[in-house]
Amino acid sequence: MSLNLEQYVSEFSAQNINGEHLLQLDGSRLKALGMTSSQDRVVIKKKLKEMKASLEKARKAQEKMEKQREKLRKKEQEQLQRKSKKTDKSLSDATEATNEQ
């Protein structure tokens, strides 16, 4: 509707075309859905291309954030392991000192 193509809404609805399906449509499928105007198909395909690019950009940003979180989690885990080793060594040293006395 925002593209001034509301004349196709009823057919898209009748065919259960949702956002996920919409992204999979090509020119021939659009034509089969009753979009006979090549100009209308061009408008839709251009918008779909923009949407796909936007989704891909968002997906990459999400992956980047997940990698950063994983890196931070590993770093924190390594720090905990080092602290644990220091604590274990301190306890071991204290035990040895006590045993020597």
The residue ranges of the chain whose pLDDT is under 50 are none
Given a contact cutoff of 8 angstroms between Cβ atoms, the answer to whether 28 and 45 are in contact is: no
Overall fold of domain 6-84: DNA polymerase; domain 1 (1.10.150)
Alpha-carbon span 11 to 73, nearest angstrom: 49
Q: What is the pLDDT of residue 100?
A: 66
> Which residues, including other chains, have CB under 8 Å from residue 17's CB and lie 6 or more apart?
25, 33
Alpha-carbon span 39 to 8, nearest angstrom: 13
Q: What is the pLDDT of residue 87?
A: 78
Residue whose pair of structure tokens reads 């020597």 in the numeric block: 100
> Which residues, including other chains, have CB under 8 Å from residue 34's CB and lie 6 or more apart?
8, 11
Terminal CA-CA length for the chain: 86
pTM given for the model: 0.61
- 32-41 pLDDT per residue, tens: 988 999 999 9
